[in-house]
């Protein structure tokens, strides 16, 4: 018998997919504290996967994790986009592709 240990947050349908492949998935439901910890780990993991691949699919995974974090924090998606729009209005977006090289103080 071969056992592979993951200890990582997975999407809801992954256990079913594993079972359909003839394997057995051992899972547990996380409490709030651990759920947040593993969401943060998943965010980092998905960001690294996107950076390594430059794949839109990986970017979609990153957004999925962000949505899960917002739900955990009880922030509705439209409210989040309102925060984003307010910040863009106050500080701008990234449309001009500006790179800050230096700030000179006199």
Per-residue pLDDT, averaged over 29-49, amounts to 98
C-alpha–C-alpha distance, residues 59 and 82, integer Å: 21
Q: Would you place residue 26 in the very low, low, confident or very high pLDDT band (cuts 50, 70, 90)?
A: very high
In a domain, 68, yes or no: yes
Per-residue pLDDT, averaged over 27-31, amounts to 98
Per-residue pLDDT, averaged over 72-80, amounts to 98
Determine the pLDDT at residue 65. 98
Per-residue pLDDT, averaged over 52-76, amounts to 98
Domain count, the chain: 1
Q: Pick from 70, 72, 46, 73: which is nearest to 60 by CA? A: 46
Domain that holds residue 64: 14-77
pLDDT at 41 over 90: yes
In a domain, 100, yes or no: no
In a domain, 19, yes or no: yes
5 by DSSP, 3-state: which? coil
Per-residue pLDDT, averaged over 18-33, amounts to 97
Determine the pLDDT at residue 60. 98
In a domain, 85, yes or no: no
pTM: 0.88
Both structure tokens of 39: 């969401």
């Amino acid at each position: 018998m071969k056992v592979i240990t993951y200890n990582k947050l997975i999407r809801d349908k992954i256990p079913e997919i594993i079972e359909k492949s003839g394997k057995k998935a051992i899972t547990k439901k996380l409490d709030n504290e651990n759920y947040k910890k593993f969401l943060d780990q998943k965010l980092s993991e998905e960001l690294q996967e996107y950076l390594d691949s430059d794949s839109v699919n990986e970017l979609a995974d990153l957004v999925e994790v962000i949505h899960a974090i917002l739900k955990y924090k009880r922030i509705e998606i439209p409210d989040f986009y309102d925060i984003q729009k307010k910040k863009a209005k106050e500080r701008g977006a990234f449309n001009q592709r500006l790179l800050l090289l230096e700030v000179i103080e006199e």
